[in-house]
Amino acid sequence: MPTVAGVDSSTQSCKVVVCDADTGEVLHRGRATHPEGTEVAPEAWWRALLEAGNGLLEHVDAVAVAGQQHGLVALDAAGSPVREALLWNDTRSAQAAADLVDELGGPEKWAEAVGTVPVAAITVAKLRWLAEHEPHHADRTDRVLLPHDWLTWQLCGGPGTGAEPVTDRGDASGTGYWSPAEGAYRRDLLALAFGGRTPELPRVLGPAEAAGRTPYGALVAAGTGDNMGAALGLGIQPGDVVISLGTSGTAFALAEHPVGDPAGAVAGFADATGRYLPLVCTLNAARVLSSTARMLGIALDDLGPLARAADSGAGGLVLLPYLGGERTPNLPEAAGSLMGMRKANMHPPNFARAAVEGMLCNMADALDRLRAQDVEARRVLIIGGAAKAPVVGEIAAEIFGTPVTVPEPEEYVALGAARQAAWALAGTPEPPHWPLAAARQIPAPADGAAGRRIREAYAHARSMVYG
């Protein structure tokens, strides 16, 4: 029985699943934590991968990595990091992003060139920040990789072994210097961002192409970005929209053609199958709930039942959940705000409910942005850590005004990586069919008035604070 491993190297942790290559049945699991912060030594990801793998990777037939997108791994000529990697949620590059947008001639030019308008999260903006603020590190940078690229390279042996650094079109599409429409790097944009420097970039592999082999002989697949991995793990089809509530909140869908949003809200990414993955990303999702639970002095698992004890609308409390700045809307310096406080509504259940509603109103705005790009939303699937609380799916159906599907909690990013590994191993035109786990179906309310009122209150509060 051939087996494959999928690695989810996310912001907070590394998860590994080992699966039957034919059926997708999960046979083994592992997990290890990553350091806190918005800049991390890449070696920490490798140590976490080995800990989470716990010897499992020595016995599989193939492996693939799905990693957090956009992180800047700058390497010197020997393949060593010149500094700690800057992660996607590091917002110090906000001004650099704004400058780049202006220098190319506006957001429309960027959307046309690479499908994505730079914001602080995007790799191209981090390169500009590095060039301006740490030119000594920029001068030493010989090669630029993304987190998943770097880990894939380590699996194949790393520097000094003859292994070639590679990436895939899904993760490359999040850099701001690779065009999904053209299927090619825009080295002119790389030079624009990096003060004329043009470091080496990884070769972009096809969806089922192999990167190499591990020292133990396992085939190493191309790997991809975490959102692309989740889409592959869920097996989404046209008409499906996924709302992923992890450290970040993302809304994405499968598309047959490239998408470019001049407003910059929708990133026109590629996916891991040869298609496209228009995506809206927010900085604030599951941590809105964990931070609220901490402030209330309760366990995270107790937040859902507490929120359910409050009425729809949280008694008039509205939480703008921009706890770490925000990416969509582009408010990198924003802070969260609790609006509508009165003596009568200052109770823990209302605060808990306002946190869930605020997080989901932000995602409902993201869903609207996708629809504005002609993305069809026949079915909404909710995944991620925050989706484990039943109340989240219930309130989502109310706020989105659509039926909601909540698949059984699973490591869908890691599963997607494992499915990609099985695809590379099989060498077939399409990935193997793995059945989706059982799912909870939540119908939309017959009367959507309550959800509309929640969204109207949220929009009003945001306009009061941010215009």
Tell me the C-alpha to C-alpha distance, in Å, between residue 332 and each of 9, 193, 327, 329: 24, 20, 6, 9
Beta carbons of 320 and 333 less than 8 angstroms apart? no
Q: Which amino acid is at 90?
A: D
Binding-site residue ranges for substrate: 69-70
Binding-site residue ranges: 69-70
Nearest 10 degrees: Cα torsion 365, 69, 143, 188:
-30
Catalytic residue annotation? 226
- 241 pairs with which residues across the strands? 253, 380
